[in-house]
């Protein structure tokens, strides 16, 4: 989905130009499209997609994710889960998958796209801001580009999970341990428990089945969640891997979202049918 979609929201759509910080290298939504086309840039940095993002069904067709993986992610998004998509390599398709998932959040939810080092968080003070109806989107948690979220803004972003927002982001890493090190290392220095801001961590990468996505992107191989221990650590739970869905772990994850369900498999089957029909 593009940033100027009718149901999307960025801080540039909420506040007058006089209240925004505008950087000439990374124009915000609503900037001069001729300038952006000439420079090959949009507000998230160089090399972004033109002409829209693939849908979830298209990603299934090209092998990026199985119907089971898609059904799981749609189930979680429908219950406002916070999702982090990770991959060890660049251009693996992290943002592509995240963008395909965003339309499956509940109707009425609005996306607030953070602008990396240029983010003012002014939307926090706007009376129209409803945490329980908002998805905060961070293109990437890293210091690789000024438009990626890094530094003090990361803790502020993660803190909104406990204040009612759903979070959606990407990061470089191959495991929960990698993301824990990313958050705990310099300059973030965040506690391990910060990982609990995400209800699901989705890994893209080579798998034991040696699958390759026909789109050129890496496929979804694993979906994890994490739960705290009494000793202050975290225990990973696998919701999906090459063996398929782990329904008990999926049920536990839904319970942490305060979702009551009588039959997880029935819920997933209904979602598979919706995806197959192309309906939300």
In the chain, what percentage of residues exceed pLDDT 70?
78
Task: Give the residue among 261, 181, 179 at the shortest CA–CA distance from 224.
Answer: 179
- What does each C-alpha distance from 83 to 29, 40, 74, 197, 272 come to in angstroms? 24, 28, 11, 9, 20
pLDDT in tens, 60-89: 999 999 999 999 999 999 999 999 999 998
pLDDT digits (tens, 9 = 90+) for 156-180: 999 999 999 999 999 999 999 999 9
pLDDT of residue 131: 97
User: Rounded to whole angstroms, what are the CA distances from 166 to 41, 111, 210?
Assistant: 27, 10, 33
Please state which architecture CATH assigns to domain 55-277.
3-Layer(aba) Sandwich (3.40)
pLDDT of residue 50: 53
Joined together, the tokens standing for residue 97 give 């998958």
Please name the helix (run of DSSP H) or strand (run of DSSP E) that holds residue 13, with its range, or none: helix 11-14
- pLDDT tens-digit readout, 240-264: 999 999 999 999 999 999 998 889 9
User: Which residues sit opposite 234 in a β-bridge?
Assistant: 228
Under the banding of pLDDT at 50, 70 and 90, the label for residue 41 is very low
Buried/exposed 164-189: b ≥16 CB within 10 Å, e otherwise: ebbbbbbbbbbbbebbbebbeeeebe
Domain ranges across the chain? 55-277
The DSSP letter of residue 149 is B
What is residue 12's predicted lDDT score, i.e. its pLDDT?
A: 36
**Would the pLDDT of 143 be above 70?**
yes
C-beta of residue 20 within 8 angstroms of C-beta of residue 28:
yes
Question: In degrees rounded to 5, what are phi and psi of residue 114?
Answer: -75, 145
Single pTM value for the model:
0.81
**Closest C-alpha to 256, from 221, 228, 223:** 228
């Amino acid at each position: 989905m593009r940033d100027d979609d009718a149901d999307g929201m960025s801080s540039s759509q909420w506040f007058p130009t006089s209240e925004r910080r505008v950087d000439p290298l990374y124009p915000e939504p609503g900037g001069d499209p001729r300038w952006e086309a000439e420079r090959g840039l949009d507000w998230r940095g160089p090399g972004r997609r033109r002409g829209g993002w693939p849908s979830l069904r298209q990603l299934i067709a090209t092998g990026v994710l199985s119907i089971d993986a898609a059904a799981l992610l749609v189930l979680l998004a429908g219950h406002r889960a916070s999702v982090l998509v990770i991959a060890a390599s660049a251009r693996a398709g992290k943002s592509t998958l995240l963008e395909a998932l965003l339309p499956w959040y509940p109707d009425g939810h609005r996306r607030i796209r953070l602008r990396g080092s240029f983010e003012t968080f002014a939307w926090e003070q706007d009376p129209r801001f409803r945490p329980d109806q908002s998805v905060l989107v961070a293109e990437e948690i890293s210091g690789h580009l000024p438009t990626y979220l890094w530094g003090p803004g990361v803790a502020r972003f993660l803190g909104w999970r406990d204040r009612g927002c759903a979070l959606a982001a990407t990061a470089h890493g191959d495991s929960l341990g990698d993301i824990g090190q990313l958050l705990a290392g310099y300059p973030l220095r965040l506690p391990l428990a910060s990982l609990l801001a995400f209800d699901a961590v989705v890994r893209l990468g080579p798998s034991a089945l040696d699958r390759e996505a026909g789109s050129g992107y890496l496929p979804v191989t694993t979906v994890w969640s994490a739960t705290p221990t009494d000793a202050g650590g975290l225990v990973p739970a696998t919701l999906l891997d090459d063996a398929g869905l782990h329904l008990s772990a999926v049920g536990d994850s839904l319970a942490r979202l305060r979702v009551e369900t009588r039959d997880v498999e029935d819920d997933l089957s209904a979602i598979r049918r919706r995806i197959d029909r192309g309906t939300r």
